[in-house]
Amino acid sequence: MRFKDILSAEFRKSTSTFRLALLTIVPFLVAISLFMMLLVIWEKRHAGEDQLSELKEVARAFFGQIMVTRTWNALHGGVYTEVSETTRPNPYLEDPRRDIVCSDGTRFTKINPAYMTRQLSELTSLSRGYSFRLVSLKPVNPKNSPDAWEKDSLIDMEKRGTAEASTVYAEHDGRRFFKFLSPLRIEKPCLTCHASHGYKVGDIKGGISILVPMAQSDQLYTAKTRRTVLYILAVGTVSFLFITMITCFLSRRLSGEIEKNIDRERLTAIVELAGATAHEMRQPMTVIHNLVGLMNEKTRQNEPITEEEMMIIHDQCDRMNDTINKMLNITSYKTKDYFRGTKIVDFDSAAAPGREGGENEGEK
């Protein structure tokens, strides 16, 4: 075999291996890409849900601490603190004992739960960025009037008994805030100040609206989501490379086995074709060989060669020519039993119908 033929065979073999590997890898690549995309979408969606759940838990804890502080204040009937520039008497507190003066002239004013809540909110906003405030559908202090979302939430709480409400909104500068609202129900200590407003125990007198800035939470969850996405991409890439290596190895092995099977089938076909050729050609050649020997003997004895003998040779030559034409016109691979399980090509069935004789038919 020439070097060019060797290179051509190796190229065909490598191309076959590549095509087989490609047919296997491409569907896997599409499947793993879709799977990774779904994982990324799922992660981003659930990261947002987890973030809101965490913020809601923070707001609930914050609300719980506010309620503990307010309850303590209410149980003590309010607390007194010295009047100062930052703590002025509450003009909305209807209490004849709102202001007291000590014997030394120091003035004190009562801090009720609502006033204390407002002051705590101002301090919290300055130190932590969190803020909260009292809101009510019947505000005594106009500053406690609810916005549109707070108003709708309070109405829903009164009608349906909703335990809490939350939402996310963004300001014009792009900053996001988590807003949480939970109702304030009238308890027995609250009646000291609110009985005159027509409330009774269990009524919703308003709520505490808590505002949590989301900048730090957004940064944490963005970084967390980015890490998770990178992990998914890394696992997907490693998986793809691993599967690619395995696929290439198996494709090469499989391609080699396919080539071997093809070679074995080719060899079997050649053997069967050779067997059929030997079968079809041996008989007429044996007849011709015997007649030629007989004719030589007659020639030595000066005996004439008969026309019948010449016709026999002619017929056997036609038979061999017909066999050759059938071989040239094979269009399918069909065999027949020959001897002891051996198969040979069936020229009559394998040749195209109506083409026996081929181009040499007119040369007879």
25 has a pLDDT exceeding 60: yes
Statement: residue 318 has pLDDT above 80: yes
Please give the backbone phi and psi of residue 174, each rounded to the nearest 5 degrees, phi first.
Answer: 95, -10
Would 114 be classed as within a structural domain? no
Q: What is the pTM of this model?
A: 0.55
In the prediction, which pLDDT does 6 show? 37
Residue 26 in domain:
no
Residue 310 lies in domain? 255-363
Domain assignment present for residue 133? The answer is: no
Q: Quick check: helix, strand or coil at residue 361?
A: helix
> 161 by DSSP, 3-state: which?
coil
* Closest residue by Cα to residue 75 from 192, 199, 182, 185: 192
Mean pLDDT of the chain: 77
- pLDDT for the residue numbered 11: 39
Instruction: Find out whether 318 and 353 touch, Cβ atoms under 8 Å.
Output: no
Cα-Cα end-to-end distance for the chain: 38
Residue 88 covered by a domain = no
Q: Which pLDDT score is estimated for 359?
A: 44
User: pLDDT, tens digit, for every residue of 135-144?
Assistant: 988 888 888 8
Q: Which residue has the higher pLDDT, 259 or 287?
A: 287
Q: Classify burial at 197, counting beta carbons within 10 Å of its beta carbon; exposed 0-12, middle 13-18, buried 19 or more.
A: middle
104 is a domain residue: no
Q: Please check whether residue 297 lies inside any domain of the structure.
A: yes
Query: Once rounded to an integer, what is the mean pLDDT over residues 53-82?
Result: 88
Half-sphere exposure of 352 (CA within 13 A, CB side): 7
Judged against a pLDDT cut of 70, whether residue 192 lies above it is answered with no
Residue 28 one-letter amino acid: F
- The pLDDT of residue 116 is above 80: yes
Q: Could you give the number of structural domains in the chain?
A: 1
Q: Is the dihedral of CA 112, 114, 118, 121 positive or negative?
A: positive
Task: Write out pLDDT tens, residues 209-245.
Answer: 999 888 888 888 888 888 888 888 888 888 778 777 7
Question: 28 in a domain, yes or no?
Answer: no
Q: Which candidate, 33, 24, 19, places its Cα nearest to that of 243?
A: 24
Does residue 286 belong to any structural domain of this protein?
Answer: yes
